[in-house]
Structure 1
Amino acid sequence: MWLNFLLLFLFTLSPWVLFSYLPKNNDKFFGIILSFSGAYLFSITLLHILPEIYVNSPNPKVVGAYILLGFFIQLIISFFAKGVEHGHLHHHHSGKILPMSLVVSISIHAFLEGNMLVHPLHAHNAMHDNDSLLVGMILHKIPEAFALLSVLREYKSSKLVRFNIFVMYALLSPLGMIFGNYAYLLDWMTPNVLTIVFAIIAGNFMHISTIIFFESSPRHELRFAASNAKVLGALLAIAFEILI
């Protein structure tokens, strides 16, 4: 668990260092990375997360309702987070004060994501494969972190404030993972409750990944590269499911 905590935190934090070396207008780079990570997350959701939830659920119809609930919860979060949680960039806020709604929304999203990494030995019938999901989470967090940094740079705030916000964001998914593990160990969450939590978060992932996966770049020269990135992301997800 602690290795996963460290990996997730460090990979999420790494864009802070890389960001200073990237040009301000880096839409092409973000677009390709986002397409790859979105396709991987979408594929892992379909290949592993949803089947495991349904197989381990005593009432699949109820679970489907919770997945749908998670989808619409993410829709509300996206409204306040301005699309940052699925890696969208917005460059039209320069000079404004960073809204707390964005910070709170992206924080809730990050904390909920971490709960999906509850150790499979604690979960009911090995609810999900921790390794492939951890890879998917990291691949998703990196472009998400770049997008958040891009938005933070546009707002009027000191570098220290931006860094503190970003470190808090980088810690929230690992903390969500620890909370989920201990909540299960201390019987705060029974296997049935854990299944419901996973179903809601799976709905979150469905919303995020489908938006990214089915989105096309308006720039013709990026469509081919983005399509290749999506195919590669899906193939990598399939390979992880077979090999891990």
Structure 2
Amino acid sequence: MNDFEAKNVLVLGGSRGIGAAIVRRFAASGANVGFTYAGSKQAAEELAAETGATALRTDSADRSELTATVAARGALDAIVIAAGTLVLGDPLQIDADAVDHMIDVNVRAPYHAAVEAARRMNDNGRIIVIGSVNGDRMPFAGGAAYALTKSAVQGMVRGLARDLGERGITVNSIQPGPTDSDMNPADGPMAATMHSFMAIKRHARTEEVAELAAYLAGPHGAMITGSMQTIDGGFGA
């Protein structure tokens, strides 16, 4: 596969889980890939050695640090914003600082990163944000704050698609359902409950989400913009 030969791609939050699968997919297709990480230094170094991608220590909650990293990559062909965090709990008891940090990482960071990328992005570039099916549906208690962040991503994607469309830049969200990762393992305590909501009763593989990202970033995705591409096994059906 060389469908992204010499393309300049940045993956925010690329050291583990869905982000790491996306790094592998683009690197295997010939792209010049950079990816950010925050706390997973060893995982980032191992992924960089495996793929030839460049690991960039960046705190997505720090706007100045984040935008500097994006700017330093120059004219991007694609940015995939996969960095995210999950806080669940009773809204009457949940730590307010933890909620604010989640909003910083899940909402403010994607907006500022996307805008900074667009300043230099090549025409017909791609902006992809990893959202969640919980932006559409929250079927259990304790997820209000998380769902808020993922619904906010939807509005951002629709608006930026309008703002950047004249340059042929597409802006889309991928909305995974339960996906086998450190954040939501397929053998975790919530697996059976989540599968009960699904038509296809298993967690998605991170590689399946990465393939959807590659499709949106490739030539076949040129007319897909302002959309929420849900990949959830029917979780939200």
More helix by share: 1
More strand by share: 2
Say which one has the larger Rg: 1
Using CA pairs below 8 Å that are at least 6 residues apart, which structure has the higher relative contact order?
Answer: 1
TM-score (norm 1): 0.36
TM-score (norm 2): 0.37
